[in-house]
Amino acid sequence: MPKWKQKLFELKWKRYHPDAFSRFAHLLESERLPADQLRERQEEARRKIVRHAMEHTAFYRQHYAASGFEVGDIGTDGWFEKLPPVTKAHLRSHFEEMTDLSQKQFLRLSTTGGSTGTPTKTGFDGRLPEEIYNWRILNWFGVHPGEDRGSLWRATRTTWRQKFVNRALWWPTRHLQLDASFMTESSLRAFLKQFNRLRPACLQGYVGAISQLARFVIDNQIEAWSPKFVWVTSAPLSPVQRKLIADAFHAPVCDQYGSCEIRWIAQQCPEGKGLHVNVEHVHLEYVDEENHPVPAGVYGRTLLTNLEDMVFPLIRYENGDRGRWLLESCPCGRSLPLIDTVKGRESESFVLPSGKTINGEYLTTIFDATPDLARGFRVIQHRDLSITVEYIPSSDQDVPRIESVIRAFSAKIGGEVPVESRVVHEIAHDRGKLRFVVRER
């Protein structure tokens, strides 16, 4: 990337967020700090945000008072785990009270996706340069934030005017976009043509949409430009999809985890060992039914605390995902702790007639041992509790082996319900988000 382009990019950013670059420099330092130093900083940040929320929002004052927690308890033994979690229902019914009204002028709104339930409104502090967490990912893969990118998102700028303004704002950086909600053969072809001409440093987008593009590249034997890396987000990434994307673009794949309420939670480094948590920004916990943290390696419900947002504090917010900490550290030497790739959502667990539950995490791993056999799959539980496994075989010869994997799965759940299999040509996705465990209700 030419130096003048870098300089121009930095000058523009300094107008919007004067401190973004100094904050970013701090991030790159802190990811190499000793782990106990990071933990100390986190504890300090948690005390600050909880105190602030209790003193400046009606919601947290009442929410904590109802469980007997007072400001004076902050910092005492095991204090943080005594705080009752915040749920989506709280967001819906107490939005105003959760806001620090004295700083309301900085509040910005965003709406969480509707694919997993009711869309929910959430708020954030518009002054925070969250982009620096985006830059961190690019930096890990050797990309400057001012370099060109190709992206597959749901289009938010649809008019010519909006598109023009967006392009002018980003200039001289080019952002090539493909609307992930309506992908057709001709739109895929047109995108790839421009993609090969522009040769962007990075390709990013929804897991489902990028997988579909990768499938298209391979099926049509298209020679696609190989970016420095492909960055996917918004849904669990299966080993099958990872291989497909890497094969299509001959590039490493970065799995990033975020939710609409807190976008920059964790991401993979080029070593690809689990996802590094952005501990400067978010405190992540995996907890049991009593909201106590579970040991590393054990799956639990996700609670998230935004450590930087004083305008719309989110403390121990339950986002509905399940996950676990990894025991190992990453060979890259960064001390940001590692979580496992995020598998399924709580709602996606299946229930059998005997009352036994099959975990969503397990359901997504059926083909993990044999990622070459199926190009894609989806497990569906119907209302009568019977199960269908849909899959796209890599080739006709693979069908018998896939069928035996499915029979093994059926045996594993004790044959309690019929398990059928179905060969499909495409796995349906929901606005670019692929859900590979579906429970019909």
Instruction: Give least dist CB 276 to Zn ion, A.
Output: 6
Instruction: Give least dist CB 335 to Zn ion, A.
Output: 10
Q: How far apart are CA 422 and CA 440, in angstroms?
A: 17
Instruction: Give least dist CB 379 to Zn ion, A.
Output: 31
Instruction: Give least dist CB 267 to Zn ion, A.
Output: 10
| Paired tokens of 295 | 């040991």
The interface mask with Zn ion, positions 208-227, x = CB under 5 A, is --------------------
The interface mask with Zn ion, positions 14-33, x = CB under 5 A, is --------------------
Instruction: Give least dist CB 271 to Zn ion, A.
Output: 5
State the burial class of residue 29 (Cβ atoms within 10 Å of its Cβ: 0-12, 13-18, 19+): exposed
Of the two residues 231 and 317, which places its CB atom closer to Zn ion in the complex?
231
Q: How far apart are CA 76 and CA 123, in angstroms?
A: 30
Q: How far apart are CA 206 and CA 18, in angstroms?
A: 30
**Interface segment toward Zn ion; rule CB under 5 A; list 40-48, 184-192, 208-216, 264-272:** 264-272
Of the two residues 330 and 387, which places its CB atom closer to Zn ion in the complex?
330
Q: Which of residues 267-296 bind Zn ion (CB under 5 A)?
A: 269, 271
Q: Which of residues 333-352 bind Zn ion (CB under 5 A)?
A: 334
Residue 322 CB partners (closer than 8 Å, separation 6+): 286, 299, 300, 301, 302, 342, 343, 344, 345, 346, 359, 360, 361
The interface mask with Zn ion, positions 315-334, x = CB under 5 A, is ---------------x-x-x
Strand segments, DSSP code E, in 312-355 are 317-323, 338-339, 350-351
First to last CA, the chain: 51
Of the two residues 13 and 141, which places its CB atom closer to Zn ion in the complex?
141
**Interface segment toward Zn ion; rule CB under 5 A; list 125-133, 266-274, 303-311, 345-353:** 266-274
Specify whether the CB–CB gap between 261 and 112 falls below 8 A.
Answer: yes
Instruction: Please list the alpha-helical segments (H only) found in 337-417.
Output: 360-363, 399-412
Of the two residues 271 and 416, which places its CB atom closer to Zn ion in the complex?
271
Of the two residues 276 and 316, which places its CB atom closer to Zn ion in the complex?
276
Instruction: Give least dist CB 141 to Zn ion, A.
Output: 12
Of the two residues 86 and 336, which places its CB atom closer to Zn ion in the complex?
336
| Closest to 222 measured CA to CA, from 254, 253, 251, 247 | 247
Q: Which of residues 34-93 bind Zn ion (CB under 5 A)?
A: none
Specify whether the CB–CB gap between 107 and 237 falls below 8 A.
Answer: no
Give the interface size with Zn ion as a residue count (CB under 5 A): 5
- Around Cβ 93, how many Cβ atoms within 10 Å? 12
Specify whether the CB–CB gap between 392 and 426 falls below 8 A.
Answer: yes
| Paired tokens of 247 | 């094969």
Of the two residues 103 and 329, which places its CB atom closer to Zn ion in the complex?
329
Of the two residues 270 and 418, which places its CB atom closer to Zn ion in the complex?
270
Residue 266 binding Zn ion, by CB under 5 A: no
Centroid of chain to Cα 77: 32
Q: How far apart are CA 35 and CA 335, in angstroms?
A: 6
Tell me which residues touch Zn ion (CB under 5 A): 269, 271, 330, 332, 334
